[in-house]
Amino acid sequence: MLTKATAGGGSILNVGVHFFDLLESLTESRIISVSAQTRTFREDIDIDELAMFTVTMSSGQIAHVHTGYLYSGTPDDQREFGFSVSHGTAYLQGFADQIVVKSADGVSRSATVEYNTDEFYPIFFRDALARCRAGQRPLVGLEEAQRALSVVEAGYRSAQQDGASVAVSLI
């Protein structure tokens, strides 16, 4: 998982990709461009250990997603990631095991959230399989996966261009 040839990418592809779906769902708006920076610190790997993606939504909102592999992390603390997005009615921030929503009138509420995507893969696959067997479309299909990957790919192109804004392919 620590080589581009095997994994295709690093922390942003492995754990960050799910936050792009989440941002589009929360804002009901598509990501249209990305400005990104990635870093690799270890000499024995060629994937991003740290990544910061700033995305622009079609609504004009700006959000960010940051990810990182932590060394030497424990099994409970080996990845770091978070997101934030602001708009006219609220500011949302996700980190650790929390999501915080601050409304424009100053009211703040938070909830504990499980962001460890590894926990959800078996549930997702069982649900997708059951839906397919029933002749239904999965909640998340190939089009949504391709959409999220197009955001990651645009971000990687941006990072290669020193963070220049790159348009996301419309899918």
For the cut 80, the answer to whether the pLDDT of residue 117 exceeds it is no
Tell me the average pLDDT of the chain. Answer: 88
For the cut 90, the answer to whether the pLDDT of residue 102 exceeds it is yes
Give 170's pLDDT tier (boundaries 50, 70, 90).
confident
* Average pLDDT, integer, range 146-161: 96
Give 78's pLDDT tier (boundaries 50, 70, 90).
low
Give 129's pLDDT tier (boundaries 50, 70, 90).
very high
For the cut 90, the answer to whether the pLDDT of residue 120 exceeds it is no
pLDDT the model gives residue 5: 84
Do 66 and 82 form a contact (C-beta atoms < 8 A)?
yes
pLDDT the model gives residue 171: 73
Give the strands of the sheet with 50-57, arranged side by side.
108-112, 98-103, 90-95, 79-86, 62-69, 50-57, 31-39, 166-167
For the cut 90, the answer to whether the pLDDT of residue 74 exceeds it is no
Domains and CATH numbers, the chain: 4-165 (3.30.360.10)
pLDDT the model gives residue 2: 76
pLDDT the model gives residue 79: 67
pLDDT the model gives residue 141: 84
* Average pLDDT, integer, range 24-47: 91
Give 80's pLDDT tier (boundaries 50, 70, 90).
confident
DSSP the chain: --SHHHHSS-HIIIIIHHHHHHHHHHHT--EEEEEEEEE---TT--S-SEEEEEEEETTS-EEEEEEEE-TT--TTSSEEEEEEEE-SSEEEEEETTEEEEEETTS-EEEEE----GGGTHHHHHHHHHHHHHTTPPPSS-HHHHHHHHHHHHHHHHHHHTTT--EEPPP-
